[in-house]
Amino acid sequence: MANMTITEKILSAHSGKKEVRRGEFIQADVDVALANDITAPLAIKKFKEWGAKRVFDEEKIVLVPDHFTPNKDIKAAEQCMLLRSFAREQNIINYFEVGRVGIEHILLPEKGLVLPGDLVIGADSHTCTAGALGAFATGVGSTDLAAVMITGKIWLKVPPTIRFIYRGNLKEWVTAKDLILYTIGDIGVDGASYKAMEFGGEVITNLTMAGRLTMCNMAVEAGAKNAIIEPDRITLEYVRGRARRNYQLYHSDPNAEYVEIKEYKVDKIEPQVAFPPLPSNTKGISEIDRIEIDQVVIGSCTNGSLEDLRLAAKVLRGKKVHPEVRAIIIPATPSIYLEAMKEGILEVFLEAGAVLAPPTCGPCLGGHMGVLAEGERAVATTNRNFRGRMGHLKSEVYLTNPAVAAASAIKGRIASPEEID
C-alpha cells in the first residue's frame, strides 16, 4: 500500500486489492447504505421490481426520513409510510422515526453509525459529509442504492485526489463555512469534478468536528466525488463512546500522488457570501452593497450543529429580529435541540423573535418550513442557492455562515456580525 492517498487506501481495502490507482474501476464492499424519505422509496420500488427478498445486512442500511418530515402533505406521508413498512418488513434496525430523526448527515456521525475507514454510500449528494471522520463517503442514485441494498457492493471508479492545504490563523467570525465557500469560489462548481477533495494543514487540524463536517458537506458543490480529512486526535475524541463496532484509521502516504495541491493562507479570508445562483459566486462580506432580505434560515446538514447555534446566539443575544424578516432556526438533531435548550440558546432565539423548527431539511430544498415566494430573498446557512432552490424560481438565496445569517436577521439586510454592538 505504498504511495496511496487515504481515499485510495480505503477503496483498496474495501475491494480486496493490495492497491488501487486513480481511474481504475473496482467493486467495493459497503459498510453503510443510507437513504431518506425522497430517495429511499425509489430504491425500495426497484428492490421489489428486481425480485429481491432480503437486504444484504439489516444493520448496515440506514433509513432517515428527514426531508419532508414531519409530514408536510399526503404525498410525504405516503413516502414515509413506505420507509416505515420496509424497515419493519426487513427488520432494519437503523430507521429513525419523527421525534428521533435528525438531518441524516449530522445524525449518522452523532449516532456512531459512520466511522473512520468506512465506505459509505448514500442516496443523497451530501453523503460526502462523512468524509470528515476519515471515511470514503459519496452520493449515488436510488437505483444504485437498490443494488447496494441487495448485494452490499458498489461499482466505483477510483477518483484522483486534489489536496487542499490551509495555513495561518482564522480571523474573527470566519468559520469552516467560509473556508469551503472561499475554496469553491476559487475552483468553481466543477473544479473538483469526480475528484476527491482532501483537506489538510494546521487550520483543518484545529477545526472541531462540526467544522470538518461543514467543510466536507459542501465538497459536492465543487463537483467532488468525495471529501476527506485524515483522522487525528479530534476524530478519535469524537468517535470514542459513539462507535458500536471496530473501525480502521487510514492516512495518505508521504509520497502519495495528487493531481493538484492547492494551498491557502487564511489570514486574509473574511466571512463569505455566495450570491445566487451558484455556491461559487462568492464575495467577501466587506464587498457587499445593501441587499435587503425577507428571510433567514439557520440550520441544515451544513450548519445545524450545536456549535453553529451557539455562534448565531452569540450575535442574537439581547437583540431583535428585524420586523420585516422571518428568522427560522433548525437544530440538526434532537440531541442538539435538547442541548441548545439546556444551554438557554433556544431562549435567545425565541426572545429575539425567531421561530424554531424540528430537525428537518425543510426549507433547504424548498420543501416546507420556509418556502420563498416570488421576489423574496433569503440568507441561509444551507449549501445550495440554485435558482428556485428554496421556493419560487424568482426568489434568491445567499449562503453564509451562522454569524452573518444572525447579523442579517437583525439588520434586515446582508450584514456582518461586526455591525452588531
User: Along the 421 residues of the chain, how does pLDDT read in single tens digits?
Assistant: 479 999 999 999 999 999 999 999 999 999 999 999 999 999 999 999 999 999 999 999 999 999 999 999 999 999 999 999 999 999 999 999 999 999 999 999 999 999 999 999 999 999 999 999 999 999 999 999 999 999 999 999 999 999 999 999 999 999 999 999 999 999 999 999 999 999 999 999 999 999 999 999 999 999 999 999 999 999 999 999 999 999 999 999 999 999 999 999 999 999 999 999 999 999 999 999 999 999 999 999 999 999 999 999 999 999 999 999 999 999 999 999 999 999 999 999 999 999 999 999 999 999 999 999 999 999 999 999 999 999 999 999 999 999 999 999 999 999 999 999 8
Q: Which amino acid is at 354?
A: A
What is the Cα–Cα distance from 186 to 180, expressed in whole angstroms? 10
Q: Are strands 282-284 and 196-200 parallel, antiparallel or unpaired?
A: unpaired
Q: How many residues can be counted in the chain?
A: 421
Which runs of E-coded beta strand occur in 69-190? 94-95, 119-122, 136-139, 153-157, 161-167
Q: Which residues of 223-246 are buried (b: 16+ CB within 10 A; e: fewer)?
A: bbbbbbbbbeebbeebbeeeeeee
Cell 451544513 belongs to 302
Residue 89, all three cell numbers: 418488513
301 is in an annotated binding site: yes
80 is in an annotated binding site: no
Whole-structure pTM over 0.75, yes or no?
A: yes
Do the first three CATH levels of 6-264 and 272-419 match, i.e. the same topology? yes
| Domain boundaries, given as residue ranges, for the chain | 6-264, 272-419
Dihedral pair phi/psi, residue 227, rounded to 5°: -125, 155
What is the Cα–Cα distance from 358 to 290, expressed in whole angstroms? 32
Query: Among 3.40.50.150, 3.30.70.20, 3.40.50.300, 3.30.499.10, what is the CATH number of 272-419?
Result: 3.30.499.10
Provide the 8-state DSSP code for 3. Answer: S
The residues pairing with 299 across neighbouring beta strands, listed in sequence order, are: 330
Q: How far is CA 389 from CA 108, 319, 362, 397, in A?
A: 25, 29, 11, 8
6-264, CATH topology level: Aconitase; domain 3 (3.30.499)
216 is in an annotated binding site: no
